[in-house]
Amino acid sequence: MSSLRLDWCSHKAAKYACERWHYTRLVPRNKLVKIGVWEEGHFIGVVIFGTGACDALGHRFGLSGFECCELVRVALRQHKVPVTRIVSIALTFLRRACPKIRLVVAFADPEAGHHGGIYQAGNWIYSGRSEPSDELVINGRRMHGRAVRSTLRGYVIPGHNTLERARIFYRDPKATIVKGSSKHRYLMPLDDGIRGQVLCLAQPYPKRVKQAMITYPVVSGGAAPTDALQLSNELALSP
């Protein structure tokens, strides 16, 4: 059995993992809970929970922003331990750090070739597809419209709309708005009360469908830790 360890990690470590091992190559800018993953003593990635792109994520379930969060990143390099086990342990960390959280929501993007297999294996509740939302293509990357607007909240230029401000802020004069994808939504209730509320939303799990996928820029990089990761390793592996 492979030796597995999860522990808190730095933002630099999370950024390193997301830029190399997540298809978006991005770290969300909202408030985050960052959990590093080590296998056989080597850093293999990160699991990140956050508020997500939508501030009202939990409203549809009757929950406040303090009671609901999103699993925003699972960024892992090649490893032996099943992802479902890693996510399950990460959820335990989340419960301890944020005891008020009652529900975790995760999305799988079919346009990126994802159908939510890791959530199905972990017995998450599938509640259907989300409503399509606007996205922006900036410097070759697709970014959620709400995430961009959140980043630009304090960057006001009179007479400029969101796209115009984004082109200036991100230094990409060719940035454009595109129709967003409708994503698969999965739910993980953290207490019996909310489980009873969301079970009625359960739908049959979707199957993987072969289709053309969005192409994201590939950033080369191996598993060799940077200085920040070496520090995270020392902290996480110390007694």
The pLDDT assigned to 95 comes to 95
Q: 117 lies in which domain range?
A: 4-132+183-237
Nearest alpha-carbon partner for 169 in 155, 149, 153: 155
The pLDDT assigned to 79 comes to 93
Residues 158 and 187 in one domain: no
Q: Whole-prediction pTM value? A: 0.75
SS3 content of the chain, % helix, strand, coil (to 5): 30, 25, 45
The pLDDT assigned to 53 comes to 63
Query: Which residue type occupies 138?
Result: I
Read off the CATH number of the domain in which 213 is found: 3.40.630.30
Residues 69 and 89 in one domain: yes
The pLDDT assigned to 73 comes to 94
Q: 3-state DSSP call for residue 165?
A: helix
Which residues on adjacent β-strands are paired with residue 107? 185
The pLDDT assigned to 179 comes to 75
Residues 63 and 26 in one domain: yes
Q: 146, 162, 180: which is the final residue of a domain?
A: 180
* 156 CB burial (10 A radius; 0-12, 13-18, 19+): exposed
Tokens at 206, concatenated: 């979707």
Residues 62 and 122 in one domain: yes
Nearest alpha-carbon partner for 108 in 184, 167, 1: 184
Residues 123 and 210 in one domain: yes
Count how many domains the chain has.
Answer: 2
Mean pLDDT, 10 residues at a time, over the chain (239 residues)?
89 95 83 94 96 77 91 94 96 95 92 88 94 82 76 84 91 86 92 95 88 42 36 38
Q: 158, 180, 202: which is the final residue of a domain?
A: 180
Residues 85 and 31 in one domain: yes
Q: 3-state DSSP call for residue 132?
A: coil
Residues 39 and 56 in one domain: yes
Residues 117 and 167 in one domain: no
The pLDDT assigned to 80 comes to 93
Instruction: State the pairing for strand pair 125-129/184-189.
Output: antiparallel
The pLDDT assigned to 1 comes to 55
Q: 3-state DSSP call for residue 234?
A: helix
CA 222 remoteness from chain centre = 21
Residues 106 and 122 in one domain: yes
Tokens at 166, concatenated: 């984004």
CA 121 remoteness from chain centre = 18
Rounded CA gap, 203 and 199, in Å? 9
Longest dimension (CA), the chain: 60
The full DSSP string for 19-68 is HHHSTT-----S-EEEEEEEETTEEEEEEEEE--S-TTTTGGGT--TTTE
* Neighbour tally for 126: CB within 10 Å: 20
CA 8 remoteness from chain centre = 16
CA 17 remoteness from chain centre = 12
Residues 87 and 176 in one domain: no
Residues 128 and 176 in one domain: no
First-to-last CA distance in the chain?
Answer: 21
Residues 109 and 164 in one domain: no
